[in-house]
Chains A and B, each alone.
Chain A
Amino acid sequence: DAGVIQSPRHEVTEMGQEVTLRCKPISGHDYLFWYRQTMMRGLELLIYFNNNVPIDDSGMPEDRFSAKMPNASFSTLKIQPSEPRDSAVYFCASSTGPAGATYEQYFGPGTRLTVT
C-alpha cells in the first residue's frame, strides 16, 4: 500500500487567498484525521471523520477552516481566507478506529503551508 497520500507537499500563498489541502487515506481505513503542527503549539487534532462523516470538529480553530470527505478515498481541508498565523505543517492520518482508542494511526508526509 502507498500509505496516506497528501498534496501538495508545499504551498506558499498570500494572505487572503483560499488554500485547499488534499488527502487520500489508506484503503480500508474508516477513520480520517486532520492535524496541524507548529513549533509553538506542537501537534493538534483539528477534525476527524468516520465513514466520511465528520465526528468531532472541536479542534478546528475558526470558521475560516472547513473539511470535507466526499468519499472514502478523498478528503480536503480548506482555509478561506488564509492568514499568516495559519502557516504550519498539516498532516492527514488514517486508521481503522477512533482517535481515543488504541488503534494505530498512519500519518501522511504532511503539507507545509506558508502564508505571506
Chain B
Amino acid sequence: KNQVEQSPQSLIILEGKNCTLQCNYTVSPFSNLRWYKQDTGRGPVSLTIMTFSENTKSNGRYTATLDADTKQSSLHITASQLSDSASYICVVTIYSGGGADGLTFGKGTHLIIQP
C-alpha cells in the first residue's frame, strides 16, 4: 500500500534555530515529491517539487533533500522565523498516475516557532 509518513507530528523550536522535518514513503513507482507549507486557516503553498533525479532543491531558507534509494526526504529550515510557524505537508506522486490515485499525502508536521 502506498503510504507517506511524516515525522515528527509536531515540533516546537526557538526563533533563529534550524530544524529538519522528515518524510518517508513507500510509494512506487515514484514520480515526484512535493513539500507544501500551510498556514493556519489558509490553503497549502508549494515550497519545492523534486523528481527522482534531483537530490536537493532550495527555496530561500527552505532546503529539501531526496534519497530515492531509501525513499526518504527531508525539509530543512534555516534560521527559523516566527512566520515559519505552520504545517508542512509532504506529497508523493506515482509515476504512471495523473489523477487522485497518483497522489499520496502525508498528515503533515505542525511546526511552532517560539520567540
Interface residues of A, Cβ cutoff 8 Å to B: 4, 42-48, 55-59, 91, 93, 98-102, 104-105, 107-110
Asked if B65 is an interface residue, CB under 8 A from chain A, the answer is no
Q: Is the CB of B100 within 8 A of A42?
A: no
Output the nearest chain A residue to B99 by Cβ-Cβ distance: A56
Chain A residues in 8 Å Cβ range of B11: none
What is the CA–CA distance of A91 and B45 in the complex, to the nearest angstrom? 12
Output the nearest chain B residue to A95 by Cβ-Cβ distance: B46
Q: Is the CB of A45 within 8 A of B103?
A: yes
- The count of chain B contact residues (Cβ–Cβ below 8 Å) is 26
Q: Is the CB of A104 within 8 A of B46?
A: yes
Interface residues of B, Cβ cutoff 8 Å to A: 31-32, 41-46, 49, 51, 89, 91, 93-95, 97-103, 105-108
Chain A residues in 8 Å Cβ range of B31: 100-101
What is the CA–CA distance of A15 and B101 in the complex, to the nearest angstrom? 29
Q: Is the CB of A4 within 8 A of B108?
A: no
Q: Is the CB of B43 within 8 A of A107?
A: yes
- Check A99/B105 contact, CB under 8 A, given A93-B43, A104-B46: no
Q: Is the CB of B43 within 8 A of A91?
A: yes
